[in-house]
Structure 1
Amino acid sequence: MMRILHSLPRTHKLLLLPVATMVTVLGAQKVVNTFEDLQRDQQALDTVLVPLNADASPGLPSLNTKRTAVADALEKANQALDATRVHVPLSELTASEIVDVDFINSAKAEPEIPQTLALPAHGDPSPRNLAEAVIPSIDESAKHMAVVIGTIASGMLDHDGSLMADATSYEEVSENDLDLFAEGPIVLEQEIASNETFVPHWETYTVESGDTFAIMAQQHLEMGYSEVMALLDALPEPRILTNWRVGERFEYQLDEQGDLLALRMMKNARNGYLIERQGDDFEIATIERAGEATQRLFAGTISGSFARSAKATGLNSAEVSKLSRALERKLDFRRDTRGGDRFQVLVESDIIDGKSYDPRVLAVQYEGERMNITIVRNGDDNRFYTPDGESLDPAFNRYPFEGRYRLSSNFNPNRHHPVTGRISPHKGTDFAMPIGTAVQAPANGRVEKVGNHPAAGRYVVIRHDNGYKTRYLHLSKPLVSKGQRVTMGERIALSGNTGRSTGPHLHYEVLVNNSQVNAMKVSLPENQSLQGDQLVAFQRQAEPMLAALESGQTGTVVASTRQQSSVDN
């Protein structure tokens, strides 16, 4: 048999290797089981019954392994198994004819598994036929011995025990595997179970027609009715949950049991609330989205009104309003503007989700037939100055209100009384305005009087720090009290139609040395300007904004924060 295997081509040897190995395994298993049976039956260890084929002949090479008790027992056994098998006394064999077997610990088959493998009596012992046979459980020691014997039987070793030229390994082993088993194989005593930590994630709910928060909270957030009421009571603005619109969205988090952990909702793109469960209570925090500060340059030409011309550049209504307020202290839009005048304005706003919020005018340049002016916002006090540091905020405002209202009656010492027709001097300036319009202090000062008069109606008198005095008549409601300190621009009252008045208006007086003067013509105190280190800091801050105005490149030409600006060329 060995000569036949040895004479086969290499490819045939490799094809027969699995079959030879399996047959050898079964033979090795038989040897082990026979030895075990002899021990169990307390038979004499004179001979070991080794089943051989009729044409088998001795001549297997020695493996030169350490001898064990099993090998000694094999040497002594010499009894025939049955008449159909060859009985070879071991004592008559030469040393090279004895197969030495070195078992690890003890070679043992599972007792409930059959000791022999029933192969087909006829036909090719192919892997498919082998797979259809009853495969016993083989001890690792017997399998190792069988692989070695099968290697010899398949012709991978020469008869003298030396390696053949075409011998090879039957499994690849990487360097990492060698390092891993440097100190022996790794044996896990027990399975290691890893517990995945629960991480809550945000889910989005979209309001549908007919939805109410109370029902939604019970169905999706596992909240009871009392919890819903407690949450609404804790919210500063419960209308955000009770007044829903179809299509509105909010986000929520649930724990492993499906109970509410957190709720996040926005009133608008900038502001909202975050609600988090803390035991049986709710903790509420406000959300303020700052957005990304972005600067844009707009340029236009006067054609018609200033407001219409400004909107034509792409400015929205809020931005046009702030631009008008920045220029109105230096520019009279009805008298000073002319068709063809050019202007540029640098606006900064917060971009949130692609939309612009909270616009801020940073710099304006106006080049007109009657006036040229450039102003820049100072980030330190949020006021406008010329590039030289001159303030646009005077120490005394000309008008005690914001916006523009019709001048219904001028200061006139020779005015005729509207009812009697007699000469009745009008020592103030009247502005027609709706009842409830805010009246502002034109300068810093202290409230001197607050009262109600049959002719003047409700009134307020303020003495200012520069010695001037102002009076406000026919008010609907004073907002200050006697002795109170007020600052420039602070609301002091609401206009009205009290006392002897022919219609809603504000009667405004300016007194210099306790004498009424024309408030529209009197010389007002000089405005305040920046000096020293304040001027240097302002001019350093204004430099990139002025460069943006000079560039003339409309659109998003500057990207910056409020603290630092840079030109995007």
Structure 2
Amino acid sequence: MLRILHSLPRTHKLLLLPVATMVTVLGAQKIVTTYQDVQREYRTLDTVIVPLEVDARPVLPTLSFERSPVGDAIEMASQALDATRHQLPLAKLVDGEALDLDLINTASASADGGLPLALTRPAQSGASDASQAQSKLDQGAVHMAVVVGTIGSGMLDHDGALMADATSYEPVSDEELGLFDDGPVILEKEIAATEPFVPEWQTYTVKQGDTFAVMAQNHLGLGYSEVLRLLDELPDKNALTRWRAGNSFEYQLDEEGKLLALRMMRNARTGFMVERDDAGFEVATIERTGEASQRLFAGTVSGSFARSAQATGLSSAEISELTRVLGQRLDFRRDTRRGDRFQVLVESDVIDGSSFDPRVLAVQYEGERFDMTLVRNGADSKFYTPDGESLDPAFNRYPFEGSYRLSSGFNPNRRHPVTGRVSPHRGTDFAMPIGTPIIAPADGRVEKVANHPVAGRYVVIRHDNGYQTRYLHLSRPLVSRGDRVTMGERIALSGNTGRSTGPHLHYEVLVNNTQVNAMTVELPENKSLTGEQLVAFKRQAEPLLAALQSGETGAVVASRRDSGDDEG
């Protein structure tokens, strides 16, 4: 029966709950009676027989069902069960329909089963005492019947519809629940939040008479030994010892007032950072990057070219690079004339208003005897004409930078001043101080580095074009045999070793293993850009040439055309 009830829809369960409870009460009453019979000695177990009427039929009571003082519970239960089997009008009931049901509270049965079970409703006013003379149900049996009936009806199923629809609609205040019967909660002591320590950067400005050792002990919490260790870690030992009044640096202290970090800039671009670690102090270099800015300078030659360039506002470093570039094609003493005009496009990194790492991007020179336009190639930082012709020769005429006096030229018929015999001089001598850098005139490989009683210390290089060069009377070679050298690389320092009458460089050029005059020999022509390199260079040079022609750039343009000091 419980399985049948459990399988019914929710509406059916609501209707049959009283009937199921009633039938369960009868079963509980029998269980209790049987248990009590067991406790009696020499008593047999009795069985309660519930007879049905002969004309009992499956009929479901309706709302208009006539009630009798003593209903036939067995017939009602039988009708309810039969109704579920035969799908009687009970299935037509819908949610929300109300039913008028009564519950019984007393029951009695004969031991021999000869009399039908008697059921009694709750006492009504005006009822006779005879009608109430039925025995009361045992309270334990009633409780067990209600529990068993509730379980059988499925009302305690966790997944049942009744549980799923369970809710509350009446709000209950905290006072009604007694949550704050003891009154409001008052915090007598304020809870203090612990904030982590965050070091802040502070600035110290050097005053007249300050020394780092004293300042570090007074302001940075360092001991004298820690000051010495810190100074030893610095890449520049004078950075914190030879400072000037007005210089400043930044520092951080920990909670105990000891140095955590120190930051000092040498200039707007470079500086260093000192940080404390478990082992002591760690030093890192600071390198600030600036914004690339282009500036255009224009001037007129009046007197020396260097002073004329300085009058435009070019710095000494920018003038030095400009003269080096133009000097590869231009002889400033012979080719420049008063009134010649020039324009220079310079790029530099600007940091806090200061300019760093100036680079000449393009230069245009318009003179009486000489016209030239040069552009730097970003791929190799070399200068080319707008057509891609290189300024760098494949072979330099001189193996040094600067100008030195030719003390003895190439002369295969030279006679000895004492003996009068022919004593050929198969090289070119340049008088120069001991220690003057000697550079490779072209790319090549070192063939020999040796010492000779007459030639002194010397170096021999075979170049890629097949030419060979020799350098005698050196004070110190800077390369070794087998080394690869490039044009402009330092290979030795000049000297006065071997049989020599004074400090000088003896320089020889050999073609097909024969000495030739280094000052007149035909040298390989310049290299030029071709193919994709030339296309890329012209694409890069286009905006630079436009800036030279228009006099406009994306940055500040400085122009000055007044004359400088005249020189004879």
Deviation at 1:187, TM superposition (A): 10
Distance 1:503 1:316 in 2: 38
Distance 2:338 2:420 in 1: 43
Deviation at 1:341, TM superposition (A): 1.8
Q: Which residue of 1 aligns with 2:359?
A: 360
1:224 is aligned with what amino acid? G
Contact 2:440 2:485 in 1 (8 A): yes
Contact 2:300 2:341 in 1 (8 A): yes
* Secondary structure class of the residue paired with 2:239: helix
Contact 2:297 2:557 in 1 (8 A): no
After superposition, the C-alpha distances for 1:199-220 in whole angstroms (9 at most, x for unaligned) are 3222222233433322221111
Q: Which residue of 1 aligns with 2:538?
A: 539
Contact 2:318 2:360 in 1 (8 A): yes
Matched, 1:240 2:202: no
Residues 358 and 409 of structure 1, relative CA distance in 2, 3 Å threshold: farther
* Secondary structure class of the residue paired with 2:390: coil
Per the normalisation by structure 2, the TM-score is: 0.61
Contact 1:276 1:282 in 2 (8 A): yes
1:4-153 paired onto structure 2 within 5 Å: none
2:530 is aligned with what amino acid? Q
Residues 418 and 295 of structure 1, relative CA distance in 2, 3 Å threshold: farther
Distance 1:509 1:190 in 2: 97
Contact 1:297 1:555 in 2 (8 A): no
Contact 1:299 1:554 in 2 (8 A): no
Deviation at 1:234, TM superposition (A): 2.2
Residues 496 and 543 of structure 1, relative CA distance in 2, 3 Å threshold: same
* Secondary structure class of the residue paired with 1:242: coil
Matched, 1:460 2:454: no
1:224-303 paired onto structure 2 within 5 Å: 224-303=223-302
Residues 186 and 368 of structure 1, relative CA distance in 2, 3 Å threshold: farther
2:295 is aligned with what amino acid? R
Deviation at 1:534, TM superposition (A): 1.6
After superposition, the C-alpha distances for 1:162-202 in whole angstroms (9 at most, x for unaligned) are xxxxxxxxxxxxxxxxxxxxxxx999998575555543222
Distance 1:518 1:435 in 2: 24
Distance 2:188 2:220 in 1: 44
Q: Which residue of 2 aligns with 1:340?
A: 339
Distance 1:234 1:243 in 2: 16
- Out of 421-430 and 454-463, give the one that drifted further: 421-430
Contact 1:294 1:558 in 2 (8 A): no
Q: Which residue of 2 aligns with 1:208?
A: 207
Distance 1:378 1:187 in 2: 80
* Secondary structure class of the residue paired with 1:358: strand
Deviation at 1:557, TM superposition (A): 4.5
Q: Which residue of 1 aligns with 2:402?
A: 403
2:376 is aligned with what amino acid? R
- Out of 371-380 and 550-559, give the one that drifted further: 550-559
* Secondary structure class of the residue paired with 1:344: strand
Distance 1:420 1:552 in 2: 67
Residues 316 and 407 of structure 1, relative CA distance in 2, 3 Å threshold: farther
Q: Which residue of 2 aligns with 1:529?
A: 528
Residues 348 and 403 of structure 1, relative CA distance in 2, 3 Å threshold: farther
Residues 533 and 557 of structure 1, relative CA distance in 2, 3 Å threshold: farther
Q: Which residue of 2 aligns with 1:316?
A: 315
Residues 461 and 531 of structure 1, relative CA distance in 2, 3 Å threshold: same
Q: Which residue of 1 aligns with 2:96?
A: none
Deviation at 1:381, TM superposition (A): 0.9
Distance 1:555 1:417 in 2: 66
Contact 2:251 2:260 in 1 (8 A): yes
Deviation at 1:278, TM superposition (A): 1.7
* Secondary structure class of the residue paired with 1:391: coil
Query: RMSD of aligned C-alpha atoms?
Result: 3.0
Contact 2:300 2:342 in 1 (8 A): yes
What 5-or-longer segments of structure 2 have no aligned partner?
Answer: 1-173, 176-183, 559-568
Distance 2:418 2:390 in 1: 45
Q: Which residue of 1 aligns with 2:303?
A: 304
Q: Which residue of 2 aligns with 1:495?
A: 494
Deviation at 1:422, TM superposition (A): 5.7
Q: Which residue of 1 aligns with 2:436?
A: 437
After superposition, the C-alpha distances for 1:4-23 in whole angstroms (9 at most, x for unaligned) are xxxxxxxxxxxxxxxxxxxx
What 5-or-longer segments of structure 1 have no aligned partner?
Answer: 1-103, 106-184, 560-569
Residues 207 and 316 of structure 1, relative CA distance in 2, 3 Å threshold: same
Could you say which structure has the greater relative contact order, defined with CA pairs below 8 angstroms and 6 or more residues apart? 2
Q: Which residue of 2 aligns with 1:508?
A: 507
Deviation at 1:528, TM superposition (A): 2.0
Residues 414 and 342 of structure 1, relative CA distance in 2, 3 Å threshold: farther
Deviation at 1:415, TM superposition (A): 4.1
Deviation at 1:554, TM superposition (A): 9.2
Q: Which residue of 2 aligns with 1:123?
A: none
Residues 257 and 410 of structure 1, relative CA distance in 2, 3 Å threshold: same
After superposition, the C-alpha distances for 1:49-75 in whole angstroms (9 at most, x for unaligned) are xxxxxxxxxxxxxxxxxxxxxxxxxxx
Q: Which residue of 1 aligns with 2:112?
A: none
After superposition, the C-alpha distances for 1:415-443 in whole angstroms (9 at most, x for unaligned) are 45566666543322222322211111111
After superposition, the C-alpha distances for 1:106-152 in whole angstroms (9 at most, x for unaligned) are xxxxxxxxxxxxxxxxxxxxxxxxxxxxxxxxxxxxxxxxxxxxxxx
Deviation at 1:298, TM superposition (A): 1.4
Calculate percent identity across the aligned residue pairs: 77
Distance 1:544 1:186 in 2: 78
Residues 557 and 517 of structure 1, relative CA distance in 2, 3 Å threshold: farther
Distance 1:394 1:483 in 2: 24
Per the normalisation by structure 1, the TM-score is: 0.61
Distance 1:256 1:340 in 2: 69
Distance 2:395 2:539 in 1: 28
Distance 1:294 1:463 in 2: 43
After superposition, the C-alpha distances for 1:238-296 in whole angstroms (9 at most, x for unaligned) are 23223333333222111232111111123333222101112342221111122222211
Distance 1:416 1:310 in 2: 48
